[in-house]
Amino acid sequence: MPKAGMDMKEGKIVKWIAEVGQKVAEGDALLEIETDKVNMEVESPADGTLLRRYFEDGDTVPVVTVIGYVGAAGEAVPDGPSTAGAPQAAPQAPKEEKPAAYEFDAAVIGGGPAGYVAAIRAAQLGGRVVLFERDVGGGAWLGRGCMRRKSYLKAAGCLRHIGGAAKRGIVLESGGVAVDMNKVHAYKQTVVKKLTGGVAMLLKSRGIETVRGDARLTDAHTVTCAGKSYTAGSILLCGGSRAGTVPIPGIDSPRVVTSDGILSLTELPGRLAVIGGGVIGCEIATAFAAFGSEVTVVELMDRPVPMMDGEVSAAIAAAMKKDGVRLLLGAQVERIEDLDAAVRVHVAGHEPVEADLVLLSVGRSADLTCLGELAGEIEVQRGKVVVDALCRTNIPGVYACGDVTAVSALAHSAFKMGEAAAANALGGRVEADLARVPSCLYTMPEAACVGMTEEEAGGKHQLLVGRFPFSANGRALASGEPEGFVKVIAEKRHGEILGVHIVGAAATEMIAEAKVLMDMEITIHEAADVMHAHPTFSEALMEACADALGRCIHLPGKA
């Protein structure tokens, strides 16, 4: 029985649509239920045969109670219903009894987005919790990575706005603008200190014991840190990630830094070479180009941020080139040569790139040191811990979430996994729903997306595609930020929104609305009719939906 609303506690079966023994396809309606708010159809979760119905028409059933099974013909199923849910995909981790002798109900290794959220959620649920962190509250996400980049990018954005001030009639008397990297660095440190201090306060307010140091598993219920052992009924592995590397000759040069190191600079490099044109590489390239560095990005693929929609990548490439960033695409670094006061980056098929500093930005790899003595027992594939939808590893009582897993390397994904793992560690059954994870790029302009790219969707569905340029948006024009567009991809037959891709000012804020529309299964027909305040950037999303239907008011008619 689905939980169709926050307050829903039970549902009434109005009628079964499928009969026992009937073959069904994923998405077929199995039965109709009535809740206190709506009537709705419950769809089959998979292809198969309806093997068992535990309740019949007119029965009222508590939420999350199993009401039937779909599986292979002849497959054995339980004789009676339960609230345990359907069998989970491998790895299986049977629930075990947890003796009261453990010091803690949950031990969390790692204080990043997954770890500190998991610790707080476990404490909210009444658990005795200990959190281990080698660095600061918030982990590398706050202390060395994501949030520090956003501070630099805001400074870069300020420079861009100042540069455009004259055409608005604002005259700068001093005759120029300069960047003081010491102050940029100091301001960034102030932001980081406030955020990490905030995390520490939240942990303390929940009575969570925090232990500093490198923590490792001794067994499935024991963590060792700083020479002391701690026991817990459940252990949550949230060890995070570390900057990745590649086997390039000369990569160990002192003039080659990772994303951790470059955000600690107090002097601006005159020439910066960036190896890798993914999210981190493009963001840092954008910021340092705005600060005044001569920036070259070398990307192995034929476009920057290649995981994004093709139109988005093209728009970001054009914006970076406009800002003076040199892009070498479809190019491979062969070696790095140290010079007296610089380095020379040799790129196949191109003239060597000389730089004062090289940023190596080729992704991040899971930090699996937290596995400790269980390193050979916990299932790992391609350097990542394998978990199921409940964030369980193959070891009973041991969970994993965030960057140590192969699920998603984004902070907001880690938040959701942390909440789910904490609930499950304390006896619950909560799946981390990561079906539609928004991705954000904080360049200038910004970019954000959720769902399928047009390339992905086109191979599976007949499509409706709508676009609306910010150059036709009143707020964007008044703000002097007309670059970019909103692109909406929908399935033609039913109007299901499959993907939304945005390039432009406020893109990373607007993507939340797209995520809500998709999660609530609002069709493109309904989304096109949602009233938006005017003038706003977000109107462009509604306009793009209307364009997909051929009825956009603020675009010229199509021949």
89, part of any domain: no
In a domain, 430, yes or no: no
Answer yes or no: do 141 and 169 share one domain: yes
Task: Among 361, 378, 400, give the residue marking a domain's end.
Answer: 361
End residue of a domain, out of 342, 361, 380: 361
Query: What does the pLDDT read at residue 94?
Result: 47
pLDDT interval class at 176 (50, 70, 90): low
Annotated catalytic residue, options 185, 350, 534, 554: 534
Do residues 248 and 336 touch, judged by C-beta distance below 8 A? yes
Query: Which amino acid is it at 131?
Result: L
β-strand partners of 95: none
pTM equals: 0.76
Secondary structure letter of residue 392 according to DSSP: B
- 475: which residues sit within 8 A by CB, 6+ positions away? 535, 536, 537, 539
The reply to whether 435 falls in a domain is no
Dist. CA 90–CA 389, nearest whole Å? 10
CB-CB contact of 418 with 118 (8 Å): yes
Same domain, 473 and 497: yes
Q: Considering only CA atoms, which of 326, 433, 370, 324 is closest in space to residue 111? A: 370
In the predicted structure, residue 36 carries a pLDDT above the cut 80: no
Q: How many CA atoms lie within 13 A of 48 on its CB side?
A: 17
Is residue 226 over pLDDT 80? yes
Q: Average pLDDT, stretch 340-352?
A: 93
Q: What is the DSSP string of 505-540?
A: TTHHHHHHHHHHHHHTT-BHHHHTT----SS-TTHH
Residue 47: C-alpha distances to residues 28, 44, 546 (Å): 9, 7, 34
Asked if residue 458 and residue 350 are part of one domain, the reply reads no
For residue 147, pLDDT beyond 60: no
131 and 261 share a domain?
A: no
Same domain, 302 and 381: no
Q: Is the pLDDT of residue 142 over 60?
A: no
437 domain residue, yes or no: no
Alpha-carbon distance of 544 to 103, in angstroms, equals: 55
Q: Determine the 3-state secondary structure of 54 from DSSP.
A: coil
Give dist(CA 476, CA 506) in Å, integer.
10
Provide the mean pLDDT of the chain: 87
Q: Let me know whether 197 and 311 are in one domain.
A: no
Q: What is the pLDDT of residue 187?
A: 72
**Domain-located, residue 95:** no
Return the structure tokens found at 318: 């054009």
Asked whether residue 348 falls in the same domain as residue 404, the answer is no
pLDDT digits (tens, 9 = 90+) for 183-225: 777 776 777 777 778 888 889 999 999 999 999 999 999 999 9
Domain total of the chain: 4
Q: Reply yes or no on whether the pLDDT at 514 is more than 80.
A: yes
* % residues pLDDT > 90 (the chain): 62
Please state, for a pLDDT cut of 70, what percent of the chain lies above it.
Answer: 88
Active site residue 534: yes
320-334 tens-digit pLDDT? 999 999 999 999 999
39 pLDDT band, cuts 50/70/90, is confident
| Amino acid, res. 212 | R
**4 within domain boundaries:** no
Q: What integer is the mean pLDDT of 533-554?
A: 96
Name the band, by pLDDT with cuts 50, 70 and 90, for residue 559. low
CB-based contacts of 392, cutoff 8 Å, min separation 6: 88, 91, 93, 398, 399, 424
User: Does residue 477 form part of some domain?
Assistant: yes
Task: List, for residues 258-295, the tens digit of each pLDDT value.
Answer: 887 887 788 889 999 999 999 999 999 998 998 889 99
Alpha helix (H) residue ranges in 292-327: 310-322
Per residue in 272-305, is it b (16+ CB within 10 Å) or e — as a string?
A: bbbbbbbbbbbbbbbbbbbbbbbbbbbbbeebbb
400 and 524 belong to one structural domain: no
Annotate 472-506 with three-state secondary structure: HCHHHHHCCCCCCEEEEEEECCCCEEEEEEEECCC
- Confidence band (pLDDT; 50, 70, 90) for 88? very low
Block residue for tokens 């001093």: 174
Distance CA 336, CA 354 (A): 10
Here the CATH number for the domain that contains residue 283 is 3.50.50.60
371 and 226 within one domain: yes
Domain with 58 in it: what CATH number? 2.40.50.100
236 and 110 inside one domain: yes
Mean pLDDT computed over 540-545: 97
Question: Residue 396 pLDDT > 70, yes or no?
Answer: yes
- AA identity, residue 527: A
Give the end of a domain, one of 332, 361, 390.
361
Q: pLDDT confidence of 26, banded at 50, 70, 90?
A: confident
Task: Report pLDDT for 159.
Answer: 60
Give the pLDDT confidence score for residue 133 in this predicted structure.
92
Contact 61, 82 (CB under 8 A): no
Q: In whole angstroms, how far apart are CA 227 and each of 48, 211, 214?
A: 53, 12, 10
Give me the pLDDT at residue 84, please.
45
For residues 65 and 18, membership in a common domain is answered with yes
Burial class (CB in 10 A: 0-12, 13-18, 19+), 126: exposed
Q: How far apart are CA 105 and CA 98, in angstroms?
A: 9
Is the confidence at residue 386, as pLDDT, over 90?
A: yes
> 20, 59, 67, 26: which is closest to 43 by C-alpha?
26
Q: State the average pLDDT over residues 395-411.
A: 90
In a domain, 553, yes or no: no
Are residues 351 and 383 located together in one domain of the fold?
no
Q: Who wins on pLDDT, 7 or 538?
A: 538
What CA–CA distance (Å, rounded) separates 504 from 484? 5
Q: Are strands 228-237 and 104-109 parallel, antiparallel or unpaired?
A: parallel
Containing structural domain, residue 372: 104-242+366-425
Give the least confident one: 91-100, 169-178, 224-233.
91-100
Closest listed residue to residue 237, CA positions, set 264, 269, 215, 204: 215
| Confidence at residue 6, expressed as pLDDT on a 0 to 100 scale | 57
Q: How far apart are CA 24 and CA 352, in angstroms?
A: 60
Instruction: Please compute the mean of the pLDDT values over residues 468-497 and round it to a whole number.
Output: 94
